[in-house]
Amino acid sequence: MASSGGDDQVPPGGPVTFSTRVIDAGSTIMQRRLPVKQMNCHVSTFAIYGSDMFRQIETHHYVHRVNDEFLQCAVYASDRSDAPLIGIEYVISDRLYESLPQDEQKLWHSHAYEVKSGSWAYPRLPEVVAAPELKNMAKTYGKFWCTWQIDRGDKLPMGAPELMMSPQGAGQGVLRPELVKRRDEKYNISTDELKDKRAEIAEPEWINPMADYWKQHGKCFVLDIMTVEMNRNAQFP
């Protein structure tokens, strides 16, 4: 069975040299790096590969709130300073989701169960502080592309991105207990206790059946890489 990955994953390459550290230090002082500085929130949660739902991983989202209805997250394998960047997730409100074409809606997953079950957690942030955000998150949808499958042992990002699914309360969406236990022990939290505390969070009035497509249709979406002829004169779209 694949591991969750992330804690001991080190890509190949030589050590950082003194001259490189000098460049990095200078960049830190002289450059603004504004997009990165907007990542103000850390979320610990889990994700499941859409093409193989027996593969489940712990993920760490660093969240940039663009506005109240759109978040963009850099997803890492852990919260260590050298953690591999394994993907990106976009999070949108239910209102924005309903504006998407149906073919696009199929690529997104719901967050209601993930939030109410306690899987979605804010490490070191008191639950009472997180409560307003949790109520909003329960009504959102996410699209998560994994670009580095470290759980299968890849030392570098390999192949096409994989579309990821959110935890659910039934079938292949149920998380492995040992995966949750490892996360809980790391942060001294209890997913079960978080679930109890979130019982009063309102369920969305309606979760669009195009989301979590595998639950309704037993099908997933994968990308394939193929060689095609270049068409430099084609109009877009």
How does DSSP classify residue 212? S
32-87 pLDDT per residue, tens:
888 888 999 999 999 999 999 999 999 999 999 999 999 999 999 999 999 999 99
Where does the chain show beta strands of DSSP type E?
A: 39-49, 56-67, 70-76, 85-92, 109-110, 141-146, 162-165
Query: What's the pLDDT band for 3 if we cut at 50, 70, 90?
Result: very low
Query: What's the pLDDT band for 8 if we cut at 50, 70, 90?
Result: low
Q: Given this model, what pLDDT does residue 237 score?
A: 65
Q: In whole angstroms, what is the distance from residue 126 CA to residue 42 CA?
A: 13
Q: Given this model, what pLDDT does residue 1 score?
A: 42
134-163 pLDDT per residue, tens:
999 999 999 999 999 999 999 999 999 999
Q: Given this model, what pLDDT does residue 6 score?
A: 57
Q: Which residues does 50 contact at the CB level (< 8 Å), separation at least 6?
A: 162, 163, 164, 165, 214, 220, 221, 222
pLDDT of 229 over the 90 cut: no
pLDDT of 209 over the 90 cut: yes
Q: Given this model, what pLDDT does residue 2 score?
A: 45
| Residue with more model confidence, 191 or 13 | 191
Number of H helices and E strands in the chain, helices first, is 9, 7
Q: Quick check: 220 and 214 in contact, CB under 8 A?
A: yes
Q: Given this model, what pLDDT does residue 167 score?
A: 96
pLDDT of 206 over the 80 cut: yes
Q: Given this model, what pLDDT does residue 31 score?
A: 87
185-200 pLDDT per residue, tens:
999 999 999 999 999 9
Average pLDDT of every residue of the chain? 92
Q: Given this model, what pLDDT does residue 76 score?
A: 97
Where does 96-154 show beta strands of DSSP type E?
A: 109-110, 141-146
